[in-house]
Structure 1
């Protein structure tokens, strides 16, 4: 909701800050800045001090953002608050993802994918809240106060309850289990920080870039290259979102029976094939709708959360650190990919660029699966 709330209220905020809509939207970039500068630090500290304090810190910092933005008087203050929101996002990432893996050790992938479902729900609901307030002629500030109220409720819950396991004890148990699994499979190979860590960091960048490219240019690609009507081109985003939601729900169910490592290469291959077909056959509106659905399913339906869970299997003693590195790579992708889009220019060539990115992602996922099999002697369940 942090990013979307700025986009949805850009005109009102521009008036509040005495600037243009473009100037108001510049505050969105501040969230990326705050996220990048804070992810690694909060990941290290999360491993040291535990998950619960960082969940609480993330909630409190986001509350400051929502209330502060509402009453800020200029863009400078708003930009500072945007950086705080990015930091809050980092606090929550390094608290929630590792925390869920430790609370539900037998359903790590499922729990992280369900977290993705709640993220998607927030992204889905907020535009309806904003448009509903506008239609009723109500103050736009309620769209800030509603998330703020939810944050207060969750903060109080974690203040008086919400037990978290001891992170260090869980890490020790995970390391012991990993050594036992390698011994049972006669594997002498250990996870390699540089090799395995690099593969996952590349994956974090590549897959964020993959679905970011598609999500940002679907409508424009449909109109310019597919020669679709404006309404049909806009509907591609809806099909993309629907695919993402259905994949989240399906993976949450199947994740109880199938290991996360089996999903990652399959979903990555599906994303590559779907984007390739979208580049090859852009003129069919019907096919484009199906492919938009499939790209949303394979690329934005929780595969990054699954890959993060697999990375935690490789490095069980540092779930917060690996979360920090993994999502820092994704944040860098979100920052750099718009630059590539502007540099390439032509939408068809941008889609071809995404095909290449997705292919690299599949190769990388295959290498991760090979390393996993060598490390644990199998590809999970």
Structure 2
């Protein structure tokens, strides 16, 4: 009977989880679609690579414009309507690009993908957390798996369908079908927390304490919340800066040719995908807060080794390590901890956490632009910055864990 009750929520929300993963698969493909079809779009929009970069940058601007209030909307109006808004925005992006005949039109529609990303993050992660409270971290990690698999498969789709408009049309139709699935899916009540027998017992024990003691033992948004949000920034910074400049490291520091330097990203991509599945299993055995410390720490060690003792072999190993430990789902684990700390404000804190990560896409290149050049010394300086930010992330994670010891009924 107990097993039946446990499996019931899984069956009840299976369609919801499936729809969310499909949505993120399409979203992840949309994020790199323009670069994959760059030459095609240059002809369609009568522009060059600079124009293509401008269109891509508008995605980040759209995300930053909406990410903060999207979380508040999710808490206030519910996960389903906000998720629907995000999916409609994604459809507008795909359909809009299909009919765009200038860079300006494409840039405007590119904003909608940023909107979609914000509203999807603000609704989908909390919805999964509420639908599967006992497996919140692993279900959130599977979002990364869906995205990685989709991005891995997109180049093959591009090779099979060289016409960008056809691919856009196919993805737009899939979004509409998935939208129907979301509308028909059952969402869990908002603000739920894990309800295992052990946690119920802990909750009952906590309820006996005075209101003052209970309040003192709850996470503080001003301390724990800000710490975890900052952690979202440092985690994203580590792998984003690495992926942007590891080809430069290969050519300028290691003396590799262009093809060999870019191949370092292959190691990163493969191990990032492997990590998603390993972490999904591991998180059922180990508390997420411990992995949020361990993963960045391992990345930090290998980043320092690679920068201090540059070699081709070490660069390949470090690419694999950063892909596995920095990009394979640890960001989602940090978000899982944050939403468990503040279950009544899941949408809002998700928005703050995502906003911190989105800042990476501006801060990383902006800071690096003052340093980077074709010299080995300048590239090494950029990576030392990556090391420093990763170290800061480890310090923040340890600090959050030390305070977490007071919140035994949380994570």
Partner of 2:408: 376
Mapping for residues 19-58 of structure 1, pairs under 5 Å: 19-58=47-86
Q: Separation in 2 of the partners of 1:173 and 1:267?
A: 28
Mapping for residues 182-201 of structure 1, pairs under 5 Å: 182=206, 188-201=216-229
- Tell me how far 1:179 sits from its aligned partner: 5.7
What is the aligned length? 371
TM-score, with structure 2 as normaliser: 0.85
Q: State which of 295, 304, 320 in structure 2 corresponds to 1:276.
A: 304
Q: Indicate conservation of the 8 Å contact 1:181/1:376, yes or no.
A: no
SS, match of residue 256 in structure 2: coil
Deviations 1:310-360 (A, max 9, x none): 011211111100100000011011112111111111111111111111100
Q: Indicate conservation of the 8 Å contact 1:191/1:314, yes or no.
A: yes
Partner of 2:181: 157
Q: Separation in 1 of the partners of 2:195 and 2:69?
A: 24
Partner of 1:334: 361
CA 1:76–1:171: 2 relative to 1, 3 Å: farther
Partner of 1:204: 232
SS, match of residue 376 in structure 1: coil
Partner of 1:364: 396
TM-score, with structure 1 as normaliser: 0.92
1:14 aligned onto 2:42 = yes
SS, match of residue 134 in structure 2: coil
Query: Which consecutive residues of structure 2, in runs of 5 or more, have no partner in the other structure?
Result: 1-28, 373-377
Partner of 2:23: none
CA 1:184–1:200: 2 relative to 1, 3 Å: farther
Q: Separation in 2 of the partners of 1:133 and 1:350?
A: 38
CA 1:123–1:250: 2 relative to 1, 3 Å: same
- Tell me how far 1:80 sits from its aligned partner: 1.4
1:166 aligned onto 2:189 = yes
Q: State which of 374, 386, 391 in structure 2 corresponds to 1:354.
A: 386
- Tell me how far 1:301 sits from its aligned partner: 0.6
Partner of 1:122: 150
SS, match of residue 257 in structure 1: coil
Q: State which of 140, 144, 147 in structure 1 corresponds to 2:171.
A: 147
SS, match of residue 141 in structure 1: helix
Q: Indicate conservation of the 8 Å contact 1:172/1:317, yes or no.
A: no
Q: Indicate conservation of the 8 Å contact 2:41/2:164, yes or no.
A: no
SS, match of residue 374 in structure 1: coil
CA RMSD in angstroms, aligned pairs only: 2.2
1:62 aligned onto 2:94 = no
1:302 aligned onto 2:326 = no
Q: Separation in 1 of the partners of 2:37 and 2:335?
A: 33
Deviations 1:168-207 (A, max 9, x none): 5x26989x96865756898742211111122112111111
SS, match of residue 285 in structure 2: coil
Deviations 1:195-242 (A, max 9, x none): 112211211111111110101111110121112233332221010011
Query: Which consecutive residues of structure 1, in runs of 5 or more, have no partner in the other structure?
Result: none
- Tell me how far 1:305 sits from its aligned partner: 0.3
1:132 aligned onto 2:160 = yes
User: Quick check: 8-17 or 341-350, which moved more?
Assistant: 8-17
Q: Separation in 2 of the partners of 1:180 and 1:73?
A: 62
Deviations 1:144-176 (A, max 9, x none): 1222122122111122x21101215x26989x9
